Amino acid sequence: MSEIDRLSERLKTALDRIEAAAMTLPESTEPPATGPTDADIALLKGQLEDERTTNAQLIERVKALKDRQENQVAQLEQSLRISKTAEAERNQLHQKMRGTIEQLRDQVARLTEANRAMVGDAHLVNTSMMVELEALRAARLADAAEVDDLITELEPLIEEAHGA
Give the residue from 81, 78, 134 showing the smallest Cα distance to 103: 134
- In 3D space, the residue among 18, 22, 25 whose CA is nearest the CA of residue 10 turns out to be 18
Please write the tens of the pLDDT for every residue from 12-66.
888 888 888 777 877 765 655 577 888 888 988 999 999 999 999 999 999 999 9
Q: What angle do CA 155, 160, 161 make, to 5 degrees?
A: 100
Where are the alpha helices (H) located in the chain, listed in sequence order? Answer: 2-24, 38-116, 122-163
Q: What is the mean pLDDT of residues 153-158?
A: 84
Is residue 123 predicted with pLDDT exceeding 90?
no
Three-state SS string over 99-124 comes to HHHHHHHHHHHHHHHHHHCCCCCHHH
pTM (2 d.p.): 0.46
Instruction: List, in order, residues 6 or more apart from 90 with CB less than 8 Å away.
Output: 142, 145, 146, 149
Give me the mean pLDDT over the 127-132 stretch: 80
